[in-house]
Structure 1
Amino acid sequence: MHKFRALLTSIGMLAALMVAAPASAAPPSPLTIPAPTGKLYVGTKTFHLVDQARVDPWVPESGARQLMVTMFYPAWRALGAPHPYMTAGEARLFLDWLGASEVPAEQVAQTKSRAWVNAPAAGGSFPLIVLSPGFSYTRSTLTGLAEELASRGYVVALIGHNYESYGTEFPDGHVTTCVACGTANSVQITAVRTADVGFVINRLIGPEPVWPQGFNIIDTKLIGMAGHSIGGNSASQVMLNDRRVLAGINMDGTFFAPIPATGFTKPFLLLGNGDGHVPGGHEPSWDRDYPRLAGWKRWITFKKSDHASFTDLTVLTDQLGLSEPGGLEGARGLALTRTYVRAFFDQHLLGQPRPVLDGPTPENPEADFWF
């Protein structure tokens, strides 16, 4: 588990800065996630899914494996209530874990997004993208990416892996925390998430879809996956085990569960921070596994980025004045992540060539291409 702690070092440093903030400081302004850049409105719908075929691996006495899944999708109109970024209970647990007890939970819970709860879906058929957050991160931290993809014509399933994050609230009001943190085996976590993803896809496009309206707008033959941290490792394992998933992205995740020597030919993208995930950096699994990718592939890193740069977390801490100086600004990190993730799925699910994937561009000088 020391590798997980190393991955979260930057967050711990931000937490220390939060604790050090004087009590007399003025309350921060309302927080916001940069607006998505697509032309489509974004709707959301959240589901509580129960996999009766599996006992929860982290808390067996809780019974069947339960997941909270938030869908983001192209909407016809901006109707309904604004999408809540987190519940207050989730935000409080997350901030407490960061050591940021002085930050009001409402400041995070009420972060403004650009999606509308239960908005009517747009007409059409859209690819499905599954997103899996980093270990201990709440699923909310990939909201900015999910909204972007939905605004560009994708249906997105953002999975909350129960007992693997600091703060998951269920419809009955109970909130679970990260039981797996500090005790779980990283390979086991990846295996659990691989099973979670397969179950969610089954519930969305299987014979008894949990969301009939969504089933009608999902192109069941065009499915991709992206994950942050161990969610990225899970993406490669899903690619190996689920033929329905055609293209995948690992965002700054160690390959704890390695890609086998036989590899696979499906397109795969590596997006990493500019320190540990450069060739020959202190995280060696990319050097080992990149040659095993036998299909279309890219290895891209962002200068001055860190582990959180591919999520909303740095976006929020920048607005609170709590980020470390000298790093990649949160809004810029999110913009880069959106650019390359969107381009990858456009090219490999929709068949629309995206030259931004071919090499460095003047518009994105932070992006380094390797091999």
Structure 2
Amino acid sequence: MVSAYTSNGSEGETEKINTNIVTLTRFLTEEQVKHKEATGDFTLLCHALQFSFKSIAYYIRRATLVNLTGLAGSSNTTGDDQKKLDVISNDLFIEAMRSSGKCALLVSEEEEEVIYFKDAKDARYAVACDPIDGSSNLDAGVSVGTIFAIHKLAEGSTGTKEDILKPGTELVAAGFTMYGASAQLVITMKGGSVNGFTLDNGVGEFILTHPDMRLPKKRSIYSVNEGNSLYWEDNVKEYFNSLKEAKEEGGKPYSARYIGSMVADAYRTLLYGGVFAYPADKKSPKGKLRILYECAPMAMVFENAGGQAVDSQMRRLMEVVPEHIHDKSGIFMGSWDEIEKVKSFHK
């Protein structure tokens, strides 16, 4: 820490300035050094991802000023009306992956088919992403985000659909960026910890602000769209009804917190604990959220932070194999003890 002059230039009052700043760039480089077999390709891919997150954050901040909100006039593969920012963010993501030269194929929520980058001859990674999750909230200024998942190609593969139709246990890295009052990036790698970064717009860098994030083991908070309760299965109804009853130990029911933007709900749950759920129901028997670029990467983050993530059949979400690139699932994720409670209602 060093002393610095105050803003009016007078000596006397000083502010403490931290000069030992860990940026995402530095963090990735230091992680690379720990692996002797590392070629640097993964680090370069992450730098390309980082650039796309910064760009999306910039456009979201300016969205209303330059009229980027509103519908773009087409629908994506899952039937959602596309926003102008959805289209821009998708294009940014595609170009960032193409130009990195390290991505062989990309799955995006906005694209019906897999995008192959055949010019990337030595690329060894496959990426899945939801460029802007929660985009229906954009016009209301609610936090939205980007979710990403990185797989490594099978030995000898030049990039096929099978390289990405894998369970979450095969993921190399995953995470999400939330664009709110500030841009927050959460990233984790296979067998590693979960680390949170905040975008400092002044220097244009993601700064490590939440090292080694850990979920509280339990917390009396639940997050779910209760507007769907009419379609829920009986055991799901019983579980959520039980949370509204006063508990003997504290005498209070659970607090309800639902934003309606998965990234924002997940980030809050990661920080404070509790449970986030989007169960499968009679209206959506397979669930609503996509496995490859929503459920699996979130499950990896929550597991590496000491929590759990399961589908509506109480299977570990990290072990669920998607049948196709836009396959869906129900999800319950959160603090370890809270998910154990969910399981107890499904036995």
The TM-score with structure 1 as length reference comes to: 0.30
Q: Which structure has the bigger radius of gyration?
A: 2
